[in-house]
Amino acid sequence: MRWKGRRVSENVEDARGSGGVKAGGISILGLVIAFVAWKFFGVDPQQAYQATQQVTAGAQTQTTGSIKNPTQQQQEAAQFVGTILADTEDTWSQIFQQQGAQYIPPKLVMFSGRVNSGCGTAESAMGPFYCPADQKVYIDTEFFKDMRTQMGISGEQNQTELTAKDEAGDFAQAYVIAHEVGHHVQNLLGISAQVQKARQQSNQTQSNQLSVRQELQADCLAGVWANRTQQRTQFLEQGDIEEAMDAAHKIGDDYLQKRARGTVVPDSFTHGSSAQRMQWFQTGLKSGNINNCDTFGSSI
């Protein structure tokens, strides 16, 4: 994936620091395997935090702050994230303008260990998420290293926080950011509020189904971003689409449930099956049209 040399967004807040979270001897990677692998994208921060509180009780936390002397990898992480965020800004500004509206971009907070958000305190173990209360995307870039491990990408690259090389899954990482920005688009369009209201009036199974449709729409919107960015910049390289499809496959609820406990419970899905996630990302990617991302009016 070609990303260097393009505009870097000014809407990135770097709150990374040398501190982290230690949870009773349980490593962050262990929490990722136990929890983030289940949630992965589009996590509901309030629900997730409640789930992890029991695990992280008694945790010793160091203060998180900006990196004073960032390594080359940490600097590149910030540049990568800022470039992808800028791409989303350009894409959605154009789309909103075509609809006679103005796009208000989100802030993206890079953190390490723990960070306070408008949706409560966020742990690294929660993975990337969007908080509608403060309209910010939160990402601990260490997650990308864990993501590469989960995707089966091994080698020396796993020792760095983030790298621009294709073998490290850079397009899959861009997909993560685009998906979370997709939730911001849903928030601006009023979709998130409607879904939240409907979920409050539904039983657990119905609420899960609404969550699935919301997540699949964010996947589709990520595909729209990739389509429009490709038209503007020709940033895709051979293997990038396959990389994204592999990522979508490995974040399906069925894949993660079967891997974690050997069984699949469709009624408990909150993000969609592997097939659904791949299908809706491809829908947005092929069409580049937001109108094709109506997961709520479609038979999924």
Are 248 and 224 in contact by the 8 Å Cβ rule? The answer is: no
> Considering the chain, what is the average pLDDT of its residues?
80
Over the Cα atoms of the chain, what is R_g? 18
The pLDDT of 276-291, averaged and rounded, is: 96
Let me know if residue 1 belongs to a domain: no
Q: How confident is the model at residue 26 (pLDDT cuts 50, 70, 90)?
A: very low
Let me know if residue 202 belongs to a domain: yes
Alpha-carbon span 169 to 154, nearest angstrom = 11
**How many structural domains are present in the chain?**
1
Are 94 and 228 in contact by the 8 Å Cβ rule? The answer is: yes
Expressed as residue numbers, the domain containing 179 is 12-293
Are 160 and 213 in contact by the 8 Å Cβ rule? The answer is: no
| E strands present in 136-209 | 136-139
The pLDDT of 222-243, averaged and rounded, is: 94
Let me know if residue 2 belongs to a domain: no
pLDDT digits (tens, 9 = 90+) for 83-135: 999 999 999 999 999 999 999 999 999 998 888 899 988 777 777 899 999 99
Would you say residue 152 has pLDDT above 90? no
Alpha-carbon span 255 to 101, nearest angstrom = 39
Let me know if residue 300 belongs to a domain: no
Let me know if residue 140 belongs to a domain: yes
| Residue-level pLDDT at 72 | 83
Sheet with 129-131, side-by-side order of all strands: 12-15, 107-111, 136-139, 129-131
Pairing of strands 107-111, 136-139: parallel
Q: In whole angstroms, what separates CA 279 from the centre of its chain?
A: 17
Would you say residue 159 has pLDDT above 80? no
Alpha-carbon span 216 to 251, nearest angstrom = 12
Let me know if residue 68 belongs to a domain: yes
| Residue-level pLDDT at 177 | 95
Question: For residue 213, which amino acid is it?
Answer: R
Alpha-carbon span 272 to 263, nearest angstrom = 15
Pairing of strands 114-117, 107-111: unpaired
| E strands present in 149-267 | none
Let me know if residue 169 belongs to a domain: yes
- Percent of the chain at pLDDT above 70? 75
Residue pointed to by tokens 């982290």? 20
| Residue-level pLDDT at 141 | 77
| Residue-level pLDDT at 63 | 36
Q: How confident is the model at residue 150 (pLDDT cuts 50, 70, 90)?
A: low
Measuring CA to CA, which residue among 109, 141, 169 is closest to residue 20? 141
Higher pLDDT, 75 or 138: 138
Helix (H) / strand (E) containing 261:
helix 253-261
Tokens coding 223 = 């595909």
**Residues with Cβ < 8 Å from 71, sequence gap 6 or more?**
161
| Residue-level pLDDT at 68 | 66
Measuring CA to CA, which residue among 117, 186, 169, 140 is closest to residue 36? 140
Let me know if residue 145 belongs to a domain: yes
pLDDT digits (tens, 9 = 90+) for 31-71: 343 344 444 444 454 444 444 443 333 333 333 445 667 78
Alpha-carbon span 199 to 65, nearest angstrom = 36
Alpha-carbon span 43 to 219, nearest angstrom = 13
| Residue-level pLDDT at 246 | 87
